[in-house]
Chain A
Amino acid sequence: MEVDWLKRIALGTPKAGEGHTSEHKNLCLAIIRWAPVPSGAKVLERYVDEVEKHAEGSFGKIKGFRYLLQDKPKGTMLQEGFIEGLKWLGKKGFVFDLGVDQHNGGKWQLEEAVEMIEKAHEGVDEQEKVTFIISEFSFYVGPQIW
C-alpha cells in the first residue's frame, strides 16, 4: 500500500482526494521506505524485488530504506542478520535511515549505533559501504532541558 501510494505521488498519477496533483511529482526526488532489514540479505533482496515490481517507474526514486530501532530491544541492531542486511543495502547503493532515541530509549542506543555502523562497514570497500542518515535529531536532546 505504501509503495502504491508513493508510486502515485512519484509518477504524478493521483487518486481523487489524496491531496496531491500530477505536478507534485517533480517535488518528490527521493523515497525512503520501510524494509525488513533484520531478516538478513536474502529476505531483504526478495522484499526489494517485490517493491521494484510494484513501484514500476517510481523505483528509481527509492534511494534507501529505513527500519526504526528506537523501540526495539537491546542488541537488535547488532544481530548478524541486521548487519548483513545493512551490508546488502550498501552493496546495492541504497542508504539506511537510522532512527535511534537517546532521550526516551537510553544512551545505549547511541552506543550500539556506533558499533552497528562499524560492523556494517568492516571489511567493505569504500564505495560499497552503506550510508547512514541519522534521521531523528530528538535522540540527542537529553531530558535535562525538558
Chain B
Amino acid sequence: MFRLSKCSKTFMKLSGCFSEMPDKLKTAPADEIFLALQPYLVVILATFGPFRIMFGSDWPVCTVGVDDAWKKWRQIVARFCDLASLSKEEQIMIWSGTAIRAYGITELI
C-alpha cells in the first residue's frame, strides 16, 4: 500500500467493503463495522491522505444482503472523518473534491 501511494497520479476510492464482509458483520450496526475497518482506514489515510481519497459507494453491489447500505456506508465514512479530526477542507475533499480533481470534472452545475 505504501509503494502504491508513492506512485504519482493515483487516488483511492473508499468503496467495495460490504461485499467482502461475512454476513454477520454486514448486518452489524455502522459503529461495529467502523471498528472492524478502522485499522485499514488508518493505513489508507496515512499513505494517501485526504486529498487523494474519495468517497465511493460501490452501488449497487453494496446493497446485496445489506439494508440501507448507502446510508450505512456514508455513516461509516463520516465517522472516520470525524474521529480522524479531519478539517472541513479535508472532509470536503473526501466527499467530493478528490473525485472532482481525479476525474477532471469541469461541468459542475
Contacts and interface: CB of A to CB of B under 8 A. Distances in A.
A121 B9 CA distance: 9
A110 B1 contact: yes
Contacts of B107: 29, 60-61
Chain B's interface size range is 35 or more
Interface in A1-56: 26, 29-30, 32
Contact of A138 (B8, B12, B17, B109): B17
Interface residues of A, number: 33
A26 to B, nearest CB: 5
A141 B15 CA distance: 11
B9 A135 contact: no
B11 A63 contact: no
Contacts of A93: 104
Contacts of A141: 17, 20, 37, 40
23 contacts: A95-B102, A103-B20, A110-B1, A113-B4, A114-B7, A117-B7, A117-B10, A129-B8, A129-B9, A130-B9, A131-B9, A133-B10, A133-B13, A134-B10, A135-B56, A138-B19, A138-B20, A140-B43, A140-B44, A141-B20, A141-B37, A145-B39, A146-B25
Interface of B: 1, 3-4, 7-17, 19-22, 25, 36-37, 39-40, 43-44, 54, 56, 58, 99, 102-105, 107-109
